[in-house]
Amino acid sequence: MSFINFAAREINCKIVYYGAGLGGKTTNLQFIFQKTAELQKGKMISLATETDRTLFFDFLPLDLGSVRGFKTRIHLYTVPGQVFYDASRKLILRGVDGIVFVADSQQERMDANVEALDNLMSNLKEHGYDFNKIPYVLQLNKRDLPNILPVEELKTQLGVKGEPTLEAVAITGQGVFDTLKEVAKLVLAELKKNA
Ligand SMILES: Nc1nc2c(ncn2[C@@H]2O[C@H](COP(=O)(O)OP(=O)(O)OP(=O)(O)O)[C@@H](O)[C@H]2O)c(=O)[nH]1
Ligand SMILES: [Mg+2]
């Protein structure tokens, strides 16, 4: 879980974007990368196939500045959504402090969303993590498309524990920073609880 180095007064947290293939996880990170000042970010690393599907993960380190005298950094990761990359997804979840589940709002992606959510639960369980204690946010992405389900229906089908739920259009950036802020807030609150 979060790495707190008291000697160096540093905190590192890990936030993972999870969800079905093509849901928009990588697009979230790309937008954050584009809009973040040079001083606040490190290099974004993306390991992708020729068709831009995530092969292993995307990684983006962000500097939040000083939180109560601790230099605080969050590391954003995405998992590959394609079903057959499960070993990678499991590995990337190791040491996770917060999760954003990126749901594709399109009707025809509902089964894939549900499958990805089940997969998240079972991978967390395998790591021995208690989902109820993990900071978790649901992002309803692709709200710009015509064939989407109503928010209330998505919440009913995908909501797990009364988590904060945000609408987004990751390609234009709508809702992207709100989602990040929401999950970061939950992660920092959890840190405070355990400090
Ligand atoms: N219309 C629309 N397209 C989007 C939105 N977000 C992402 N996309 C598009 O959806 C496609 C897939 O987006 P990615 O961000 O690569 O999806 P991913 O979840 O990282 O997919 P995997 O890496 O395979 O798991 C790309 O063509 C994006 O441009 C959105 O809000 N609206
Ligand atoms: Mg991706």
Atom of ligand 1 nearest to the CA of 54: 23
Pocket of ligand 1 (CB under 6 A): 19, 21-27, 52-54, 78, 80-82, 141-142, 144-145, 169-171
Give me 28's structure tokens. Answer: 């979230």
Tens-digit pLDDT string for the chain (195 aa): 667 788 888 999 999 999 999 999 999 999 999 999 888 889 999 988 888 888 888 999 999 888 888 899 999 999 999 998 999 999 999 999 999 999 999 999 999 999 999 999 999 999 999 999 999 999 999 999 999 999 999 999 999 999 999 999 999 999 999 999 999 999 999 988 876
| pTM for this predicted structure | 0.96
DSSP readout, 45-109?
EEEE-TTS-EEEEEEEEEEEEEETTEEEEEEEEE---SGGGHHHHHHHTTT--EEEEEEE-BGGG
| Rounded Cα–Cα distance for residues 64 and 95 (Å) | 19
Q: Find out whether 93 and 16 touch, Cβ atoms under 8 Å.
A: yes
Model pLDDT for residues 121-175, shown as the tens digit of each residue: 999 999 999 999 999 999 999 999 999 999 999 999 999 999 999 999 999 999 9
Q: How many CB atoms lie within 10 A of CB 160?
A: 13
Centre of ligand 2 to C-alpha 194, Å, is 32
Centre of ligand 1 to C-alpha 4, Å, is 33
Residues with CB under 5 A from ligand 2 (ion): 25-26, 54
For 92, 116, 131, the CA distances from 111, given in Å and listed in that order, are 23, 9, 21
The kind and range of the H/E element at 3 are: strand 3-5
Atom of ligand 1 nearest to the CA of 102: 19
